[in-house]
């Protein structure tokens, strides 16, 4: 049975205040040592609700029947205050507020996992007609044999420019055998999450030929940093490299996680790029640290004078937003012009956000997730001056690249948001109305980890898979 990934929608507009330095240093509200939530469940819940949530003295937690409400707040209130008349004791004196929040998360995660069963193995898509809610379609494999493709963008002549995580750049004529890699590209730190990540072309590429790369550069072992450069391809070789952004040497990090590194240009030629918190959550709230932020620079790496923190003492002028844990998706809404982003949460709490100038998106002071070891981070999911997500996913779906569909070949998908999800090996279609997610549909799953999705110049959708490394094309079947 395929995994059914549970999701919870957070409704309402994203609104808030400009970044204030005093708010950036606020630590997560985690008083004292916290316990693994699975251990807490086994100790205080399993005797009544069953070791696998199957029920016993008390009702099962695997169905959708919630006598006292199944939303997060109601579940937390039941755990904290009890339902004495129904035989449910209060645990507010035994569990801390973060532990109660973690228990709500754990119940959602365990329910989804147990109800879904074992995840199927990876298969190869064939040319059969597949059905979705709005369009029948076929899947075509247009490139195969890649090694962890991460970023992709189309050149004006219709060829596809692809970055592969070990440090490979290729220019692909789709549907033909792989061409040799571009030579002379920079050496990368290809450890764990690191390597060569996103790739983009300048908005005026036809005139200037600039190509942008985000990659992990090694420093003194075992440290590394996110570096952004631009260069050109001439006669199959990377040339004319210029540094656009690089952290100071004293801010290189030994942790090999959470690099972020997604690119997006705006209509004025500014380059937006993301950097994850690099495994140190508190850095996301430090205005003097680039990690855990979305940045905005001029096309040559200069700092735009209208960036929100240009005049703030001690702050990095490139910062556009803060409190972003590990954002790996950026897209412009084709109607409103707003900047949308997906963000990896910790264990649960993956987010979809609308990014606005100078706002704080809360990590780690607020989150819907817990630590990977099962301990809570905080009980706070909202706080004044911190932005709540448009939607969040529990359990994790590991959202990566995103795009709003703008082609004409799938009219029923026009302006819907497509999200590449690494967990569940799925491509998800998301319908939004204003700042509200109204519907989600899994278009396909089970063909490999879905890393990125882009619009093609032919009006089709192109999808990058990892494990195996492939590029897929979705084609209408009618």
Choice among 135, 202, 258, 435 that is catalytic: 258
Q: How far apart are CA 462 and CA 465, in angstroms?
A: 10
SS3 78: helix
Concerning whether 258 is annotated as a catalytic residue, the answer is yes
* Calpha distance 303→473 (Å, rounded): 37
Using DSSP's 3-state secondary structure scheme, residue 43 falls into: helix
Euclidean distance between CA atoms 149 and 470, whole angstroms: 7
For 359, residues 6+ apart whose C-beta sits below 8 A from its C-beta are 14, 16, 17, 18, 19, 321, 322, 387
Phi, psi of 145 (to 5 degrees): 85, 15
| Spatial CA neighbour of 347 closest among 323, 322, 329, 364 | 364
For the chain, give the longest Cα–Cα distance.
Answer: 78
DSSP-assigned states of every residue in 128-159: S-EE-SS-EEEEEEEEEEESSEEEEEE-TTS-
Give yes or no for a contact between 220 and 201, defined as CB atoms under 8 angstroms apart: no
Residues with a catalytic annotation lie at 258
């Amino acid at each position: 049975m395929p995994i059914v990934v549970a999701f919870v929608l957070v409704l309402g507009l994203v609104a808030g205040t400009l970044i204030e330095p005093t708010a950036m240093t606020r630590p997560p509200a985690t008083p004292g040592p916290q316990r693994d939530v699975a251990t807490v469940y086994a100790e205080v819940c399993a005797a009544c609700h069953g070791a696998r949530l199957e029920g016993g003295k008390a009702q099962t937690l695997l169905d959708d029947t919630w006598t006292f409400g199944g939303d997060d707040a109601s579940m937390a209130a039941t755990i904290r205050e009890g339902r004495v008349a129904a035989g449910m004791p209060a645990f507010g004196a035994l569990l801390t507020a973060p532990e109660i929040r973690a228990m709500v998360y754990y119940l959602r995660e365990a329910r989804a996992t147990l109800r879904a069963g074992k995840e199927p193995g990876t298969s190869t898509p064939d040319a059969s007609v597949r059905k979705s809610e709005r369009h029948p379609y076929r899947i075509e494999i247009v490139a195969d044999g890649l090694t962890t493709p991460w970023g992709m963008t189309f050149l004006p002549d219709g060829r596809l420019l692809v970055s592969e995580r070990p440090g490979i750049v290729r220019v692909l004529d789709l549907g033909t055998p792989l061409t040799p890699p571009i030579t002379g590209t920079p050496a990368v730190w290809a450890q764990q999450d690191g390597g060569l990540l996103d790739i983009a072309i300048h908005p005026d590429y036809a005139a200037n030929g600039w190509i942008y790369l985000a990659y992990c550069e090694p420093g003194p072992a075992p440290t590394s940093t996110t570096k952004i450069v631009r260069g050109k391809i001439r006669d199959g070789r990377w040339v004319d490299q210029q540094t656009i952004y690089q952290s100071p040497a004293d801010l290189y990090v030994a942790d090999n996680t959470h690099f972020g590194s997604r690119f997006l240009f705006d209509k004025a030629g500014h380059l937006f790029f993301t950097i994850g918190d690099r495994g140190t959550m508190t850095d996301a709230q430090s205005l003097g640290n680039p990690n855990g932020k979305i940045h905005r620079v001029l096309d040559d790496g200069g700092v735009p004078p209208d960036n929100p923190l240009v005049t703030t003492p001690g702050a990095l002028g490139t910062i556009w937003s803060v409190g972003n844990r590990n954002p790996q998706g950026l897209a412009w809404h084709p109607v409103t012009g707003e900047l949308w982003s997906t963000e990896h949460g910790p264990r649960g709490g993956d987010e979809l956000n609308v990014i606005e100038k100078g706002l704080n998106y809360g990590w780690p002071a607020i989150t819907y997730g817990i630590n990977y070891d099962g301990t809570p981070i905080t009980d706070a999911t909202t706080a004044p001056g911190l932005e709540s997500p448009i939607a969040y996913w529990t359990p994790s779906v590991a959202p990566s690249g995103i795009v709003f569909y703008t082609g004409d070949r799938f009219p029923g998908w026009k302006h819907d948001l497509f999200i590449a999800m690494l967990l569940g090996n799925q491509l998800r279609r998301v319908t939004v109305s204003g700042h509200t997610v109204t519907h989600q549909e899994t278009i396909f799953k089970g063909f490999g980890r879905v890393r990125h999705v882009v619009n093609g110049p032919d009006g089709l959708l192109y999808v990058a898979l990892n494990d195996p490394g492939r590029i897929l094309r979705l084609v209408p079947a009618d």
